[in-house]
Amino acid sequence: MKRVRHGTKWPLQPRDRGGTMSSGDWIALGAALFAAGSCVVAIVAYRLQRRTQASSDEQQLNELIQKMQDGLAELNPGRSVTLQAFAANSVSLTSLRGQALEARKVIDRAGIKPDWFQNMILALAFSQTWDLASANPYWDGAVTAASATGNHPAHISSLAARAQFYYNRGLNDDWDLARKDFETALHELRADPDGQGPDLAAEQVATMLLRQAGFELDAQGERGAVPLVAEAFAVANSIAARWRQRNVLKALGNLVLELQQTMGFPSLLRDVADELSRQEGGLHAFPDETAAVLSAAQLPVPPDGSLFSGGDQPAAEHDPQS
């Protein structure tokens, strides 16, 4: 017998959706892809904007550094200046301080890490405008940046410059810090890491010793300066090339004479000569020209201050109008 359905429909079977996507699914996927694409575009745009801003900040900093460099070159470094020069310096210093403050603002805003030269210019600018608190981090930054890049001349230069800053600031332990910086600089010069040769290294050491001696004259007088100057002469005398040896010794003698005249230490060269005469070989260890200068410095100076006395004094030139 055949079975008959009396108006009854078989229930519909659910569609198998395992391998197909509805239009809603495609819309959702498209929205997700669009959102991801927009995110990528936004990231790229942000990075480009940051890169452009960073380039702009670097350019602004470099322009300020150039202006400060020019301003520092225009300052009158003399110990005594006229009222006109003082007024001109005051204007330059005001401009210099404004540029230094603006440069620091750019550095802080952009997170720039200044290189050795930028640190040096900023340190000098703040030091010259009497803002030593602001200058201190940039002196440290110059030393650190030069050391990190293995730039030995820059490292030595920044050590000597920071030592000068310490000598001038003169806080409780500043002079000891200055001497440590000079000691480090001298050690690096003697090591000659760039292989410049012993003669050039000796010339640089002698010059650095005399530079420190000038600061020691201000700090504690001849007691601190004389051993350094004597060592400078001894180092210069060790130069093998005779032409370089004579030139360096002559330059040292002239610089010491200038120091004793300008800084008010009339017996400086005599005291240096006395110190050298007590060392091995004495003054005879030096070339004849240098030995003669040092020996003459040991002679008593006449009461009138002249270098000659009695019949040794040269005759005055004839004045045709007398």
This prediction has a pTM of 0.72
- CA distance to 106, 156, 211, 237, 250, per residue, from 215 (Å): 34, 17, 7, 23, 21
Residues 6+ apart with CB under 8 A from 215: 163, 164, 167, 178
How high is the pLDDT of residue 47?
60
Domain locations in the chain as residue ranges: 196-300
How high is the pLDDT of residue 118?
92
Query: Is the torsion defined by CA of 47, 52, 56, 62 positive or negative?
Result: positive
- Match 């060790």 to its residue by tokens: 238
CB distance 181 to 174 below 8 Å: no
Angle between helix axes 222-237 and 242-262 (nearest 10 degrees) is 170
pLDDT < 70: residue spans in the chain: 1-55, 76-88, 300-322
